[in-house]
Amino acid sequence: MVHITNSYSATIGGAERIVRYIHTHSLANGVDSKVIGLYHNNPNQENLPKAITIGDKTPYGPRVVWALYKALKRYNKPSCLLHVHLFPAIFYIALFKKLGLLKAKTVVTEHSTSNNRRAKWYGKFLDRFIFRSYQKVFAISEGVAESLIERSIIKSNQVEVVTNGAILPFSAPIERSRKSPIEIISVGSLRKAKNFENALKALSSLTHLNWHYTIAGEGELQEKLEMLIRKEGLVDHVTLAGRVDPLNDFLTQGDLFLMPSAWEGFGLAAVEAMNASLPVVLSNVAGLKELVHFNESTLPFAKLVNPQDISEIAEVLEEVLVNFEKYRSFAPEAFEHSLKFSSQAMADKYITQYQMLG
């Protein structure tokens, strides 16, 4: 069993953390698992048993492709299973497979309902080439599976939903005392998909209320968001905290969790927030809304918003802030709901799938 991914650094995002957990859980349960990363993101955070990195600073380029091909030679046999994550790793393995260079079985996990390729004229053809090269496509949520099938990227019998899981740090609900201002928190990389720009624009109309907003994360949009904070007069209301590790203390200091993503494969950070007994405001997008929306109703500790409608985001946040004690009272329900998304259950299902694939 070999996982192949761009990087397995614990500091990048949810997909990398999922790979690390499946791998370590597999080793703990007697599965011979290994990890190959294409490049170093943060060498100090990549320590992982039975894992190697074959490249340097980028997952792209012919040197990386050649290094990956050489690294796979010892695993290139029908009895071996390659589990691939993220682009371009998924493209390289699909290419090797199409060229007849791989004898090993191959499966892939799709971690998102969207990608940058979709905006290109060739996006659908490239995705179809990639995903149809694999024997099985795992989707991390129903929303991800539906997005693949609706675009005719794969056949419906090729996909298997393995709902993502989170390492849940809290074993009991957290009791918070009433404080002022109300601390709104978000966790996510500062990039387009996380949609923090619209969240800040929405909050700029709510400065008459008593709140503070902290975003934990780093990324290429930091300078742009800093400029927006100054432009909207939010310097005293918003803090960009950078990378926060570990997150436990940060989550316990928050009062309300906001996840305004434009798209999302699965709300790993939202599950962690619910586990910290936080009410949540989430985007009403596939892969995220299904965490808290069942039988045409939303759970009482959660609110859903259209991530592209700044007025709606502001309206919902205002309603929650004005009536915050009501939402705070549902904290135990948020905690209990988070327990449905354990990483152990996820990893166990992957191991079962590996066994079925031989």
Secondary structure class of 71 (helix, strand, coil): helix
Contact between 307 and 261 under an 8 Å Cβ cutoff? The reply is: yes
Residue 17: per-residue pLDDT: 86
Domains and CATH numbers, the chain: 2-165+342-356 (3.40.50.2000), 182-341 (3.40.50.2000)
pLDDT digits (tens, 9 = 90+) for 198-217: 999 999 999 999 999 999 99
Residue 44: per-residue pLDDT: 62
pLDDT digits (tens, 9 = 90+) for 89-131: 999 999 999 999 999 999 999 998 887 788 788 889 999 999 9
Residue 179: per-residue pLDDT: 83
Paired with 34 in beta bridges are: 2
Contact between 169 and 338 under an 8 Å Cβ cutoff? The reply is: no
CA–CA separation, 212 and 209 (whole Å): 10
φ and ψ at residue 286, rounded to 5 degrees: -55, 140
- Stretch 263-292: mean pLDDT: 94
Residue 161: per-residue pLDDT: 94
Residue 323: per-residue pLDDT: 96
Q: Which is nearest to 281 in space by CA: 252, 255, 243?
A: 255
Residue 140, CB half-sphere, CA atoms under 13 Å: how many? 29
Secondary structure class of 110 (helix, strand, coil): strand
- Stretch 52-64: mean pLDDT: 92
Q: pLDDT over 90 for what percent of the chain? A: 78
Contact between 136 and 352 under an 8 Å Cβ cutoff? The reply is: no
Binned at pLDDT 50, 70 and 90, residue 151 comes out as confident
pLDDT digits (tens, 9 = 90+) for 13-44: 778 889 999 999 999 999 999 999 999 876 66
Residue 115: per-residue pLDDT: 78
What distances in angstroms separate CA 326 from CA 136, 301, 313, 322, 341, one per listed residue? 45, 9, 19, 9, 25
Residue 285: per-residue pLDDT: 94
Binned at pLDDT 50, 70 and 90, residue 47 comes out as confident
Binned at pLDDT 50, 70 and 90, residue 337 comes out as very high
Contacts for 150-153: CB closer than 8 Å, 24+ residues apart: 151/124, 151/127, 152/124, 152/128, 153/124, 153/127, 153/128
pLDDT at 155 over 90: no
Q: What angle do CA 59, 114, 302 make, to 5 degrees?
A: 120
pLDDT at 46 over 80: no
Residue 51: partners with Cβ closer than 8 Å, 6 or more residues away: 8, 23, 34, 35, 36, 37
pLDDT at 358 over 90: no
Q: Which residues of 54-209 form beta strands (DSSP E)?
A: 81-85, 105-110, 136-139, 159-161, 182-187
CA–CA separation, 143 and 146 (whole Å): 5
Secondary structure class of 184 (helix, strand, coil): strand
